[in-house]
Amino acid sequence: MLRFITLTMALIIAPSLAHAGPMPAYDPEVICSDLAGTSAKQELVMLGCLDFQERTRKEIGLAWDQLPVSVQDACGKAAAASEDYWRLKSCIDKEAPTASVGTP
User: Band of the pLDDT at 15, cuts 50, 70, 90?
Assistant: very low
Question: Sign of torsion, CA 18 77 36 30?
Answer: positive
Which among 23, 41, 42 is positioned nearest to 32, based on CA atoms? 42
Question: Sign of torsion, CA 64 68 69 72?
Answer: negative
Residue range 73-88, pLDDT digits in tens: 999 999 999 999 999 9
pLDDT at residue 39, rounded to an integer: 78
Residue range 53-64, pLDDT digits in tens: 999 999 999 999
Over range 93-98, report the average pLDDT. Answer: 82
The reply to whether the predicted model has a pTM over 0.75 is no
| Least-confidence region, from 4-13, 19-28, 74-83 | 4-13
